[in-house]
Structure 1
Amino acid sequence: MNPTKQSVGRYGIWSIGLRAEDPARRSEQAETAAELEQLGYGALWLGSNSTARHAAPLLAATGRIAVGTSIQNIWQYEAPVSAAAFAQVDAAHPGRFVLGLGVGHGGAPKPFRGPVSALAAYLDALDAAGVPADRRVVAAIGPRALRLVRERAAGTVPYLVTPDYTAAARETLGEGPLLAPELKVVPESDPARARTLARAFLAPYLTLPNYTSNFLRHGFTEDDLRGGGSDRLVDSVFAWGTEDAIRDRINAFLDAGADHVALQVVDGNPRETLPRETWRRLATLLG
């Protein structure tokens, strides 16, 4: 069995605010992690360019929940450094840290190596350093990256995807690998307000070719990418509305083949905020 797939459960939290950068916030972050574990979430995914260093305080504050990076940028951390950090954290908290890797949106050294080739070389180096394949995940979106995941990692943590994408990714991956898409949740039932919040959040991503190309591969058009995203696009990549509507949107990803859904709250507050009350409500509606 895939140990990472087993350890993360069905639902997790994706958050930039849980990254332990500011010493003044570490107590709040540790307390929040402990509460999220008590609420029944299976994993905490640390957003932005996170590392084992960010995960360690949360692992120390909890006893069961998995903590993963989503993602660590391979251009900014050499594989031997990542492997050493993995070994240190895993020794302190066996089986609970998941090394999530990706190529990000730039910053590649020159001469530039294609992203899939670079990921493969990075995984080669992790193999040589003893990092188990079943304890690392990759933020794969395109078909070639997914095929690499199928052979070389525990699974994938794709960002900004739809249920249709999830179904296609499951077909490419097969049944074994973890498929854990991130899903943005807008805790707002008014359609105009919910879509306004969603578009404000989504607009910067619609300038990034890796995301726009993926949308176009999966049935959207150039018109869907304009103006912060069409209603059709917004409604596919965000969960919003009543509790039943939010639950149905989360279930749409699971029904499409996801093993786990990483929930990111989008409520108009800074991304470093810890929306604890919304996380509590989500835990209740998910049972």
Structure 2
Amino acid sequence: MQHPSSSTFKNAVGTFGIFTHELRSEDPAQQDEIRRAAAEVEQLGFGAVWLGGSSSVRHAAHLATATSRLVLATGILNIWFQDADTVAEQRADLERSHPGRFLLGLGASHAALAQNYRRPYSTMVEYLDALDGAASPVPADSRVLAALGPKMLGLARDRAAGAHPYLVTPEYIEQARGVLGSVPLLAPEVTVVLDENRDSARATARGFLQYYLTLPNYAANLERLGFTEDDLVDGGSDRLVDALVVWGTEESMRNRLHQFLTAGADHLALQVITGDGRDTPPLPQWRRLAAITGLTN
């Protein structure tokens, strides 16, 4: 049987994409800026935009008309907040108007963020069953799962095009590839701080990591990788920060990104953390990332 991930998405997303909360803003005053930014991300050569937070099909649909080839993915759509039938119908509408442009990233989120959180693995299975049985089914090769643990990775292998893990290391990627096998798409989010100064880069990274390290799902995954409780406090130890966040000179950042790829990742969804508190698209940083990754000169 052909694996569901033998789809065009594995090629369409390319090696590098942008993971962003900024492009899913619903502020009416920002919509023109967001559309222009999405068009520039495409022009820079990135293959995909991953819409962070609890994103939806409609967030992607808003960007589809501003771009022509960019894959638009949810990173992630929260299965507790949006029912499968509605998602399937919205996805079908977007597929009819912009075929092959939308990749549905699904996640079970965290107990602290979902009031009805329970049995995440079983609920994800039920959600996938509902997508399969919808009036407009969502093909397995058009969806990925925000998998971390072995069971969810197995589900991503068997019922989706692959996995889109968050807050992981190259060592994790190697383990995940072992579970997924060679065919499925493995497209981790990778956090980047464009700063060569060790102290300020780590400070920015800690400001970003501090909340995530309190969430049990991420903490458990990091502990499986050999980190301890001491590594997880106060925004993370130096060892943890350096494992999770790419920073430094352009050469050292290129080398670190290469480690994720050689460990088995197909595509890196790069999330730039600036620490400036702004919610506007960080276009100067995305332009610099395009140069660092070799997408532009």
TM norm structure 1: 0.97
Q: 1:96 aligns with which of 93, 97, 101?
A: 101
**Bigger mean CA deviation after superposition, 219-228 or 154-163:** 219-228
Aligned to 2:230: 223
Render the CA deviation track for 1:172-225: whole Å, top value 9, x for unaligned: 000111100101110110100000110111011111000000000011111111
Within 5 A, what are the aligned runs for 1:20-169? 20-106=25-111, 108=114, 110=116, 113-129=118-134, 130-169=137-176
Shift of 1:250: 1.0
Shift of 1:258: 0.2
Amino acid at match of 2:175: A
Render the CA deviation track for 1:100-147: whole Å, top value 9, x for unaligned: 11011135565x541111101100010112110000111000000000
- Distance in 2 between the 1:187 and 1:273 partners? 17
The ranges of structure 1 where at least 4 consecutive aligned residues each deviate by more than 3 angstroms after the TM superposition are: 107-110
- Distance in 1 between the 2:104 and 2:195 partners? 33
Within 5 A, what are the aligned runs for 1:244-255? 244-255=251-262
- Distance in 2 between the 1:277 and 1:49 partners? 25
Amino acid at match of 2:282: P
- Distance in 1 between the 2:273 and 2:264 partners? 24
- Distance in 2 between the 1:93 and 1:236 partners? 38
Amino acid at match of 1:278: Q
Q: 2:23 aligns with which of 6, 10, 18?
A: 18
Q: Indicate the SS of the match to 1:226.
A: helix
Shift of 1:286: 1.0
- Distance in 2 between the 1:177 and 1:270 partners? 36
Render the CA deviation track for 1:213-248: whole Å, top value 9, x for unaligned: 000001111111122111110001100010011111
Shift of 1:20: 4.1
1:2–1:177 CA contact under 8 A, matched in 2: no
**Bigger mean CA deviation after superposition, 193-202 or 267-276:** 267-276
Mapped pair 1:264 → 2:283: no
Amino acid at match of 1:96: R
- Distance in 2 between the 1:89 and 1:18 partners? 18
Shift of 1:272: 2.2
Q: Indicate the SS of the match to 2:18.
A: strand
Render the CA deviation track for 1:249-274: whole Å, top value 9, x for unaligned: 11111011000000001111236231
1:83–1:131 CA contact under 8 A, matched in 2: yes
Q: Indicate the SS of the match to 2:73.
A: strand
Amino acid at match of 2:27: D
Q: Indicate the SS of the match to 1:12.
A: strand
- Distance in 1 between the 2:288 and 2:221 partners? 31
Q: Indicate the SS of the match to 1:41.
A: coil
Structure 1: gaps spanning 5 or more residues: none
- Distance in 2 between the 1:77 and 1:22 partners? 21
- Distance in 2 between the 1:31 and 1:264 partners? 19
1:184–1:237 CA contact under 8 A, matched in 2: yes
- Distance in 2 between the 1:212 and 1:157 partners? 17
- Distance in 2 between the 1:87 and 1:2 partners? 17
- Distance in 2 between the 1:269 and 1:46 partners? 20
1:187–1:278 CA contact under 8 A, matched in 2: yes
Q: Indicate the SS of the match to 2:168.
A: coil
- Distance in 1 between the 2:51 and 2:184 partners? 20
Mapped pair 1:232 → 2:239: yes
Coordinate RMSD, CA, aligned: 1.2
1:8–1:42 CA contact under 8 A, matched in 2: yes
- Distance in 2 between the 1:118 and 1:272 partners? 32
- Distance in 1 between the 2:235 and 2:278 partners? 18
- Distance in 1 between the 2:84 and 2:115 partners? 14
Identity %: 54
Q: Indicate the SS of the match to 2:39.
A: helix
